[in-house]
């Protein structure tokens, strides 16, 4: 990620990177006797990477340093402890985690037996911790939890490039990725589809295969299988024609093997009205005339709806005056014109 500096200036990170986790632990245990203040300064340094703190948790607790850590680090320790209790963000058992949250500017609720889970701590875990994904199962679960919470609670979209890279990395390594994919799509950002589609241009077959798996709900994608260039072309055509009318469905891999996280709102495309990808509602309310048009549209078969909504969008872009006359005509005449001019058929 070019916008994240992964070259830490903290000596603890440098020891871990160059000599390993055991050397990091040994260094802290040796130096704490000589210079406790210096070690605390290194631990509380803003440039410290999350993985170094995670690895040192047993030593921090054994040496009684937890209460002398910065607020960010104490929040991170609290998250680590909760994950250790095998609580999941997506279960009722994690309600206390959700309740004791804070917004980007500070705590929103207080709890005497829990520290506030802060946005800075969660963001720090993701932006400095993603590079060490795969360290251990507990570490990966912490990364997943931070990602889910940042996306669902804080609507944090800047971490999406990190999440998609982690998803593809885990797929290649045959590691668990479903929660991260869920968090990624839960952003409800239609541009996240474009981030995935870029992988069709990769030279690595695994990238193309996983992109195909994630986007197979798009017409033409599964047809071309591992032909990344054709898959990308199919995506680009579909995305260009449908992006103003896409909305988030919430479907995920926990529900089905082939989820369709986004769908085309055929009503909106027929009327050429942009919808919110987050909730599927039109950005501008439908007029009475438009609602009357939809009453006729609702009576059509799914195949016919697709035919005339696709035709409507094309004609609206090519000739608005002609389109306005067409859409006000009787529905049977609309269908006939669409079939004649597009070469389609209905049933």
pLDDT digits (tens, 9 = 90+) for 11-60: 999 999 999 999 999 999 999 999 999 999 999 999 999 999 999 999 99
Q: Which parts of the chain register pLDDT below 50? A: 1-5, 88-115, 345-347
Q: Distance between terminal CA atoms of the chain?
A: 49
Task: Compute the residue count for the chain.
Answer: 347
CB proximity list for 200: less than 8 A, separation 6 or greater = 207, 208, 211, 212, 228, 229, 231, 232, 235
Cβ(145)–Cβ(78) below 8 Å: no
Burial of 241 (0-12, 13-18, 19+ CB in 10 A): middle
DSSP 8-state code for residue 107: E
Q: What is the pLDDT of residue 222?
A: 84
User: How many CB atoms within 10 Å of residue 31?
Assistant: 15
Q: Measured between alpha carbons, how far is 42 from 217 in angstroms, rounded to an integer?
A: 49
pLDDT digits (tens, 9 = 90+) for 72-122: 999 999 999 988 876 544 444 344 444 444 444 443 333 333 445 689 999
DSSP-assigned letters across all residues of 244-294: GGEEE----TTT-SS---EEE-HHHHHHT--B-TTT--BSSPPPHHHHHHH
**Nearest residue to 45 (alpha-carbon basis) of 86, 99, 3, 8:** 8
Secondary structure element (H or E) that encloses residue 106, with its range: strand 106-107
């Amino acid at each position: 990620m070019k916008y994240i500096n992964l070259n830490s200036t903290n000596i603890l990170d440098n020891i871990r990177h160059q000599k390993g986790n055991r050397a990091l632990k040994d260094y802290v245990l040796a130096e704490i006797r000589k210079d406790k203040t210096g070690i605390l300064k290194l631990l509380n340094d803003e440039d410290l990477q999350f993985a170094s703190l995670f690895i040192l948790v047993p030593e921090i607790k054994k040496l009684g340093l937890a209460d002398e850590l910065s607020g960010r680090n104490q929040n991170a320790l609290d998250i680590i402890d909760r994950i250790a209790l095998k609580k999941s963000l997506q279960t009722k058992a994690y309600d206390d985690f959700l309740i004791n949250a804070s917004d980007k500017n500070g705590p929103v609720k207080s709890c005497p037996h829990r520290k506030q889970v802060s946005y800075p701590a969660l963001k720090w875990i993701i932006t400095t911790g993603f590079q060490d994904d795969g360290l251990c199962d507990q570490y990966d679960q912490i990364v997943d939890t931070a990602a889910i919470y940042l996306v669902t609670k804080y609507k944090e979209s800047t971490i999406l490039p990190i999440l998609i890279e982690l998803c593809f990395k885990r797929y290649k390594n045959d590691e668990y990725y479903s929660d991260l994919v869920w968090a990624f799509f839960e952003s409800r950002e239609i541009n996240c589809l474009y981030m995935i589609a870029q992988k069709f241009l990769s030279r690595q077959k695994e990238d193309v295969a996983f992109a195909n798996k994630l986007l197979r709900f798009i017409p033409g994608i599964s047809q071309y299988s591992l032909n990344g260039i054709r898959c990308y072309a199919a995506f680009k055509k579909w995305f260009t024609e449908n992006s103003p009318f896409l909305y988030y469905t919430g479907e995920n891999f926990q529900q089905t093997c082939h989820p369709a996280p986004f769908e085309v709102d055929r009503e909106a495309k027929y009327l050429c009205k942009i919808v919110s990808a987050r909730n599927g509602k039109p950005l501008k309310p439908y007029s009475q005339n438009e609602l009357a048009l939809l009453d006729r549209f609702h009576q059509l078969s799914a195949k016919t709806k697709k035919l005339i909504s696709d035709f409507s969008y094309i004609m609206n872009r090519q000739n608005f005056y002609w389109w306005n006359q067409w859409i006000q005509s009787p529905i049977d005449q609309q269908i006939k014109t669409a079939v004649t001019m597009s070469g389609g058929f209905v049933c």
